[in-house]
Amino acid sequence: MQSKIEKVLSMSLKPVAILLCEEVPAGAARFQEGKWGCVMMMFTAVATQGRWAAFDRSTYGCWGGGVGLGFGNAYETFPGGVECFVRFLSTGNAGWEHGRRVAATLPQGRGFAERFLEGERYIASPTLARAFVEQLPMREVPSRYVVFKPLADVEPERETPVTVVFPVNAHQLSALVVLANAGRPGNENVAIPFAASCQTIGILPMREADRPFPRAVVGHTDISARGYVRKTLGPQIVTFAAPWALFCEMEKLAADSFLSLPTWGVLAEPAEVRKTSAEGSW
């Protein structure tokens, strides 16, 4: 399907549709079973190259990805279990005997064993990290596969995405936040939670989709994931994930909105055009 929003935002990256499927689309990129990978690497391949990607309960790449895509509590399979994970996310596993024993069994290389011991320090304590894990809206998706494809490849007459994710720069994000609030009462129809990048395009907007008035979720503020895709997705990009119902609402509003006015047009112009225009106005 062709998106009015994508066109009017002059997007250089492709909006990505997330679908729940029972079959793997032909040619879809997959992680090898049991091998590590970041879900955002697959997302980037879809957004930049127009590829398709598919995941199941044995090919989700990493523990956070398993959680983020809706394959249950994959943190239970983290080395040492959830207790080691909450320390990994916070202050590290070096300070307790069980954590040190688990670290000794980890393969060396790529720095994971060191990070396991030192911790990522994204949360101040294991207690707070445990509370973070417990409040995540984990779920078991009712399908065998979760599939990413360009929104342009979606056939609405035979398939309905769960979520549409826009990879956007700051100006485009501003426009989407305004548009998401344009047809609703109140001014909190977009959320920006702390979570892994895959969770902000996966289970968090999935939870919103279950609500009468679903909000959009801004994401890809995950420092680790941003590092993995910094060269391919670029340093300026964040994600805006709209549950399908909200996306359809925004599409209807887009044509007769601020997006057709000069206020947005100035921001939509390439920087060099704005500079030339400004210089010529003196």
Query: What are the tokens at 75?
Result: 């943190």
Q: Are residues 238 and 147 part of one domain? A: yes
Residue 129 lies in a domain: yes
Given a cut of 70, the residues of the chain with pLDDT beneath it are 109-110, 269-282
In a domain, 281, yes or no: no
In 53-111, which residue ranges form alpha helices assigned H by DSSP? 63-68, 81-89, 97-105
pLDDT of residue 76: 97
What pLDDT, on a 0 to 100 scale, did the predictor assign at position 255? 87
Q: What is the structure's pLDDT at 122?
A: 98
The range of the structural domain enclosing residue 61 comes to 4-69+140-260
pLDDT at 277: 38
Strand (E) or helix (H) holding 270: none
Residue 278 maps to a domain: no
Q: Which of 262, 1, 269 is nearest to 151 (CA)?
A: 1
Quick one: pLDDT at residue 270? Answer: 58
What is the strand order of the sheet 216-219 is part of? Answer: 53-55, 145-150, 16-21, 163-168, 238-243, 216-219, 190-191
* Same domain assignment for residues 229 and 97: no
267: tokens are: 């921001």
Does residue 249 share a domain with residue 189?
A: yes
* Statement to judge: residues 151 and 237 lie in one domain: yes
Please state the length of the chain. 282
Domain identity same for 127 and 250:
no
Looking at the fold, whether 156 and 233 belong to one and the same domain comes out as yes
Q: Which candidate, 38, 52, 63, places its Cα nearest to that of 223?
A: 38
Residue 231 lies in a domain: yes
Residue 99 within any structural domain of the chain: yes
Give the total number of structural domains in the chain. Answer: 2
Q: Is there a domain that residue 80 lies in? A: yes
Question: Does 117 share its domain with 256?
Answer: no
Same domain (yes/no): 131, 149: no
Q: Do 31 and 49 sit in the same domain of this protein?
A: yes
Residue 280 lies in a domain: no
Global pTM? 0.93
- In DSSP terms, 111 is beta-bridged to none
pLDDT tens digits along 225-251: 999 999 999 999 999 999 999 999 999
Is 162 inside a domain boundary? yes
Residues 128, 147, single domain; the answer is no
Distance between CA atoms of residues 202 and 167, nearest Å: 14
Q: Are residues 220 and 123 in the same domain?
A: no
My answer on whether 174 and 100 are in the same domain is no
